[in-house]
Amino acid sequence: MRVNVAQLLKEPMGSMRRLEVSDDEGPGVRGNVELVRTDRGILVRGRLDTSVETTCSRCLARFSCPVTLHIEEEFFPLIDVISGAPLPTPEDPEDFTIDEQHVLDLSEAVRQYALLALPMKPLCRPDCAGLCPCCGHDLSQGPCSCVPRARDARLATLEQLLSDPGDALEKAGRSRRTGRKSAPK
């Protein structure tokens, strides 16, 4: 996704170009961006749709996760477009730059925004069952042959709360009013 911005750099501040990004410019990237001439460079704003190859956090399968990117970054030229003289490098080394041929490359910005747009715990599908904690079988493909583990008696109250939250909360409220602990069943 490379764009020659030499002409835009020659124009006054506020000049704008709108571009449609298609699969031709980047693998699986589509959307629209607008390039705006600023006092120091080119502001890129846009919405792009793409997908990122990642791993499901439950079953560890690789899958393609769709993401929408809302990009807003300023790119700074390294060479003055009129004189050809070198310009001071941006103060922050992480700033995006426009190369010596006045080409603005969106690839790195798209990569960074895509990584930030990934969900914290990506799932291959919403109902992914994950892996069996004993044998590692993918439970989305069916049950495994492991023997169910015995329940930990210390978690009985929590299991009761999860199975019937209203009843467990009512009992907890009664025991607080009387000052007594309810006896476990």
**Contact status, residue 80 vs residue 91, Cβ threshold 8 Å:** no
Kindly report, residue by residue over 175-184, the tens digit of the pLDDT. 555 555 555 5
CA distances (Å), 38 to each of 14, 35, 92, in order?
Answer: 6, 9, 18
Q: pLDDT digit string (tens) for 27-62?
A: 689 999 999 999 999 999 999 999 999 999 999 999
Look at residues 39, 113, 31 and name the one whose alpha carbon lies nearest to residue 72.
Answer: 113
User: Which pLDDT score is estimated for 82?
Assistant: 87
Helices assigned H by DSSP within the chain: 6-10, 107-117, 156-163, 165-178
Per-residue pLDDT tens for 126-158? 999 999 988 889 999 999 888 877 778 888 888
Pairing mode, strands 62-77 and 96-98: parallel
Residue 140 is given by DSSP the state G
**For residue 106, what are the contacts with CB-CB under 8 A and spacing of at least 6?**
1, 2, 3, 21, 26, 33, 44, 71
* Residue 75 to residue 93: CA distance in whole angstroms: 12
